Structure 1
Amino acid sequence: MNEPSKTSHRDWVVPDDIFENLVFNYTRDITHQAREGRFDPIVGREKEIQDIILILLQRGRKNVAVLGSAGVGKTAIFVKLAQVINEGKVPEYLKNARVIELEMSSLAAGTLSRSEFEGRLLPIIKGAAERNATKELPPIIFAIDEMHTIMRSSDASSASGVADILKPYLTAGDLHVLGATTKDEFRDFVAKDPALDRRFQKIHLEQPSSAESLKILHGIRPFYEKHFDITVSDECLEKIVEWTTKFMPRRTHPDKDIITLDVSCARQILFVGKGTALDLNYIRETIAVEIGLIAAAID
């Protein structure tokens, strides 16, 4: 949960207390969570973050659609941006900006009608838009995962049609939206609405190479070693990337590498215990179970 906090002492159409309570109850303040250390550092993607910042600084089309296959780290971009903001490594305009994820399931939970759902969503959008419009406060950036579900043509019962609510504020230039979805889903849903499509600049998130994936594993290794109280050798990380590349070609880096590391470490403490070194055989077993082979075949 987010901690409610006052945004300013100005008189707003959506007052501070109402706005912050709605944000607290129905969204996820990623910058606040990142400040509290809720996330591991996101390794890599510096070029993509730079491109996102460039778009957010613009006067006109300052909304971003991050497009990529499942597992390449689209939603990790939300966290990475929040971490960069918290580190102060952004231009003055984005200093202390808030990255707030609109969680449609939370907004819809317990509602009995569409009007009740919109009664929660609209004040959040209006509140952010009026605060952004003054440029007196750090900007509020809305993050929307699976952004194609906000289209009226989508089958998502709660989020369907949210795009129509956002559109006037996007047209006025009072919102920053950072959305994420696959290329196919963007084409099939969002791009079919030209008015909305042209409000977003696209950033294509490609699958990282094996070398980049290995760099990511090196970056997160200390956090897994601390959590599981085991040690993980360079060889283990290298074998994870090598074997997932070879035996799990339909899955994407870095998702398959991180999952394999996590499950392998869990196997290590389940069968051997803490204070030990990760055994390659548990990596073999993890991959074997995933793809339906015997562990001896993984090499």
Structure 2
Amino acid sequence: MEKLEKSPLKLDTLNEYGIDLTKMAQEGKLDPMIGREKELERVMHILCKRRKNNPCLLGDPGVGKTVIAEGLASKIVNCTAPFKLQGKKVFALDMGRLIAGTMYRGQFEERLMGVIDEVKQSDRGIILFIDELHTLIGGRALDAANIVEVSEPSVDETIQILEGLKSKYESYHNVRYTKKALAAAVQLPNQYISDSFNPDKSIDLIDEAGSRKVLNQTKESKVVLHVNEVDIQQMVAMLTGIPVEKVSFKESHKLLQMEKSLQKHIIGQPEAVEAISHAIRRA
């Protein structure tokens, strides 16, 4: 913050088309980052370089790229980031806002250049996170050396993420999630929801189930309802259109244990086992 305090900047364009993640972290509005320490460390490593210091997070939608940017903002606010990064602001560029209302040719480019100018004027005081960057510059322009691959977390890792986030959703919905509900929220989407990725789809599922559980409450209640695996099963059936009796928790539990079963027969190839299991679950 030192540089920004010495010479106050006008960040009108950034505030209009971006989201100040450091401010959100200061206000406690960001969810905690569970896992992804390795990827975040690599991002900070690249940011601290003298040259070619623009990390590019590469991964499917919903695997946690934005969460890594939020984790960086939280580390800066908590003063646990490398000294070179402390005091910087992290902004996430909102492409929807940037594009919205553009009427004539060149207006989008004009807005984007306004954002870039403010970042330059900050004298390295701002870290800009741009989601879906390839839509702006094309995939071939990315520097392979600075690519940080963000893969979909494993089943166990996703359950761990839900365990870390559940208190936020329990507080919001005034419910409690059972351990079996969290396990089902990971296992069932892996089998029945193939058009999105974890942890996002599992987080959405516990949010949906919590919301549905209190749907019939018309008055404030001190009674805390419990979301169990049956609630998750019913939610998956509702979202997918698959009859609830066909959404088998037992069958998906077998799929969860697939890696462990295959590893007994395939020795020394954990990546191959994970890839095979992942493909079967998506089939």
Q: TM exceeds 0.5?
A: yes
Which residue pairs with 1:100 in the alignment?
A: 91
Give 1:271 shift.
4.3
**Matches for 1:172-183 after TM superposition, within 5 Å:** none
One of 44, 59, 64 as aligned partner of 2:55: 64
RMSD of aligned Cα (Å): 2.3
Which residue pairs with 1:279 in the alignment?
A: 228
Query: Do the aligned residues in 2 keep the contact of 1:62 with 1:200 (CA within 8 Å)?
Result: no
Which residue pairs with 1:7 in the alignment?
A: 4
Is the alpha carbon distance of 1:288 and 1:128 closer, same or farther for their aligned partners in structure 2, counting shifts above 3 Å? Answer: same
Q: Which amino acid aligns with 2:212?
A: R
How many Å separate the matches in 2 of 1:43 and 1:141?
22
How many Å separate the matches in 2 of 1:246 and 1:117?
41
Query: Do the aligned residues in 1 keep the contact of 2:56 with 2:142 (CA within 8 Å)?
Result: no
Give 1:255 shift.
1.5
Identity across the alignment (%): 30
Which residue pairs with 1:218 in the alignment?
A: 163
Which residue pairs with 1:292 in the alignment?
A: 241
Query: Do the aligned residues in 2 keep the contact of 1:284 with 1:296 (CA within 8 Å)?
Result: no
One of 10, 17, 20 as aligned partner of 2:11: 20
Give 1:119 shift.
4.2
For residues 129-153 of structure 1, give each alpha carbon's deviation from its aligned partner in whole angstroms, at most 9, with x where no partner exists. Answer: 24326xxxxx3111111111213xx
TM-score, normalisation: structure 1: 0.73
Residue 143 in 1 paired to residue 134 in 2? Answer: no
Q: Which amino acid aligns with 2:22?
A: T
Which residue pairs with 1:54 in the alignment?
A: 45
How many Å separate the matches in 1 of 2:186 and 2:102?
45
How many Å separate the matches in 2 of 1:201 and 1:92?
21
Q: Which amino acid aligns with 2:53?
A: K
User: For 1:270, what is the secondary structure of its paired residue?
Assistant: coil
Which residue pairs with 1:3 in the alignment?
A: none
Give 1:32 shift.
0.8
Query: Do the aligned residues in 2 keep the contact of 1:240 with 1:283 (CA within 8 Å)?
Result: yes
User: For 1:212, what is the secondary structure of its paired residue?
Assistant: helix
Q: How many residues align?
A: 242
Give 1:116 shift.
4.4
Is the alpha carbon distance of 1:267 and 1:107 closer, same or farther for their aligned partners in structure 2, counting shifts above 3 Å? Answer: closer
Q: Which amino acid aligns with 1:218?
A: E
Is the alpha carbon distance of 1:200 and 1:98 closer, same or farther for their aligned partners in structure 2, counting shifts above 3 Å? Answer: farther
TM-score, normalisation: structure 2: 0.77
Q: Unpaired runs of 5+ in structure 1?
A: 1-5, 134-138, 152-188
User: For 2:215, what is the secondary structure of its paired residue?
Assistant: helix
How many Å separate the matches in 2 of 1:9 and 1:117?
32
